[in-house]
Structure formats: structure tokens, C-alpha cells
Structure 1
Amino acid sequence: MPANDFATRLRNRERILGYWSVIDSPVSTEWLAHLDWDYIALDLQHGLMGYDGLLRGLQAIDSAAGSAGVVRVEANDPTYIGKALDAGARMVIVPLIDSAADAERAVASTRYSPAGIRSYGPMRSQLRVGPLPSEANRDTAVVAMIETPQGLENVESICAVEGLDGVYVGPSDLRLAVGGSSPTDTSVDDVFEEAIVRVQKAAAAAGIAAGIHTPSGELAAQRLSEGYTFATVASDLTHLKAASAHHLEAARSGATR
């Protein structure tokens, strides 16, 4: 998939699959981008990288010439959003959106005047996105995270915000938001699944993309079959740990036979 087609595919609600990266490791990010993921998402909110890591990660993704570089920014702030876009992000995922007003602020931060308040200084992004403001507005996307009690309560009005390209479920925080004692509390499964359905239906009614983070390819496939239009799988750090643990167990078990 050409990276410049990413925003169009997202807005057309095509099925899109991505992978999550939290570690500042451009070489491993480049390897991931050489697979067939539609996008690689770099996590600046909870990930173990700063702006230099973001820049190197986007360069690694672009060098593979397949996946689109996506960034979850630190906060709903025009400075963080603008820096991610200037570095070459094709989409920003904006956390902790509680209201339509929050979503409007996020959208405005991604769009050049007169559609928004983004300051013109595309730096690296002008090599691939733009450089005309109209082209950048067309070829970059913004999605709002639904992960708080307020965000869930206001999800329909959030989805109706003009210029918002999609919503994205943060399942760990959303499970806490519906009363879970931890991100894996199964006692709230029913109400959590109701919330998942509500977000998907609100996005579909508004004609925007519905995305969700998942721990596995199997659950990603399930969510897509349930009406979500894009899904992200796990993260590099969790898979690194899981793969290492698996091989360690196998080696120890074999050695004791």
C-alpha cells in the first residue's frame, strides 16, 4: 500500500492492520515495516522514546516504503501534534478525548489555516506529505482515543465532529473506565463488550473509521469481523518478552529430559 493512500483508505473505512512500537529501536522498527503491516504506530504517550526516537522511527518506516508511520502523541496539544506531523507522521492518535470540544481541538491542531491552527513548518514531512497545506490536510489523518468514562459517554458527539477521521479504543483504560479493577478484570467483560459495540456503532453512524488496540492477531481479526475498520496488534516489547520466555522455557524443558 503506498503510504500516501493511507488517509484515503482510512476515511473510506477499508480494513487496515497495524503494529505497535514502544521501544526506540530503528532497526527493529525497520524490520517490522518490511512486513506487510499497513501501518506501524510509534507510541509517544507510554512508549520508551522521545522526539529523536520518533524521528528515527519514522525514517526507518519510510525506508521500507510500505507501511505508513503513525504516532500516538503525548497529549491533545498542538505542539505535540504539530511536531509529530512535521516529522512525517501520516496519522496522529490523540489520547484522552473526553468531549466533542476536545476532538475539535485535536482536529484543528492537524489542519493548516483556514481549516485549523497547525503552524507551517513541515520540515521532514514535506519530503513526502505536501508540501502544500491542502495536500498535507488531505494526506494526514487524525483519530481520537475513546478510553475514559467521559469519552464513552460522549462518543456519539465526538464521532460527529467535522474533520475527525476516526476513533480508536484504548482497551486497558476503557476497561478501567467501565469499572474494572485492572486492565484485565474479567468481571466487567459484559459492560466492556457493550462499550466496544457502542464505539463501533457510533463511528459507523458518523461514517468515520473505528479502530482498536488488540493483544493478538486473532483478536484483531475478531474485532474487524465485528465492524471495526482498523486494528493494531500488540507491541514490539511485549512480543520480544513473550518470544524470549517461550524459547527459554523450551530450552530449560529440553535440558532436563
Structure 2
Amino acid sequence: MQQTVMPSEILIADDGSGMSTRDVVKHFENISPVPVRHIWHEDNGFRLAAIRNKAIAASKGKYIIQIDGDLILQRNFIQDHMLFAREGCFVTGSRGIITELLTRKVLSGEITSLSPLMKGIRSSNNVVRIPIMSILYHTFGPTRAPRGCNMAFWRNDLIRVNGYDEDFKGWGFEDAELCIRLNNSEIHQRCMKFRGVAFHLHHNQAERSGCNSNEQRYKDSIRCHRTRCEKGLDRHLTPKISYEIGRGSAIVIGG
């Protein structure tokens, strides 16, 4: 709520949580200076691709910033994403990892702000904000593997490749496979480092039983040079939603 630039709207992509989450979202709706919408579907296993598609379909902004729900964003996060956006590109950012002990202190309110030098922050180079270094890194640095917790896209580019592939079941690889189809469609990755700072709260790992089959599907997309999935975003789009797209940005929280 302390961002230097606010999005036009916030969408919570909720993969089947219960009433306690709805109460939190309701409170957030009441205090947010921008519209908040809760996009929910019933709990039927890990269906991250589907709920993200539903939130993207419901969004009204031209540019979509996607984060996981377990991130704490530095106050310039959205501003940095908007400055880094370019037509014909999608953006992949990074995050610093917070230890379990520090996470408990943050959630209890004992600690109310985070910095790269704090004890308990791993991958601290990912939470240093130096805008000039961001330009140099993008120009001369290596391409990094995408992380779905911190990404941004033009909405029309997602429509072009049909969003997330809902044939991915369980945890893993749906983010990387989407990026393959974007790249195959000449929509290029821009790696953002030293900007768009986010801290990742500690939590137990998700159950990963579907990982092997998802990895194979990801590799198939590389091998076949896929540009579009069959079971994707178009399942949730309607003419009315497509017609009402505005000029602003939307932030999708989920995952």
C-alpha cells in the first residue's frame, strides 16, 4: 500500500483457499486506494495455470505485473516495472529469500521494514536497488531463468500465445513454458535486476508429484517450437472483457 506508483487495479488469483483468505481479501479491498478483485475457483488440486488465466482474463489493464502472494514488495516495485516495460517484450525479475526466523518476525510485526544487509536475507544481491546498474545488467548481463513470482507482460502478448497452458497439472514449469512460447513468438525476455525488488517469505515447499510430466511438456514446447497452447487463456475471455481494456496496469497476485 506504500508503492510510489499504484496499479490501476489489483487481482487476487486464488487457487481454492478458504474463508480465512476471503476475509483477508475483503479487508484489503476496504483499505486499498485502487480496485481489488478476488478471482477464485474451487480447490481441485494445484491449478495455478488456470487461476492465473482467469485473473488475466478479468484484468482491464494493458500491462500485467504478476507476483506470488508470498512476496513483500519494495516501495518502488511497480514504478520500476513500468519504467522497464517495452513493447514486444516481457520482463522477468528476481527475489531475495527470507529465512524462517526472519519471516516469523515480519509476520508478527516485530520487523516492519527489510533491507539487503539484514541478517536472514539470502540471495541479498537480488534485493539491492541500483537503477543505473539495472541498465548495465540488462545490456551486458546474462539471461536469467524466469521466475513466475516476479514477471510482467503486455496483455495482448499473453492473448497471442493463449496465456498459461492449463494442461500443466501440479507444481512446476508452467512459467518457464509460457516464456518459451513468448520467445518463439518474437516477444523477447528482458531481465530486470537491481530494480523491482521483492522479498520472498519462507514457507514449506509445495507438493511436486507432477513435476516430471510438466518438465516433459516444457521440453516438448522447446522441441516443437510451440507458440500457442490449446487449453489456455481463450477459455476465459469474453468479447465484453476484451472490449473494455483500459490504458493502465494490473497487478495479479497468486501462486
Whether the TM-score (by the shorter chain) exceeds 0.5 is no
TM-score, with structure 2 as normaliser: 0.24
Greater length-normalized contact order (CA 8 Å, ≥ 6 residues apart):
2
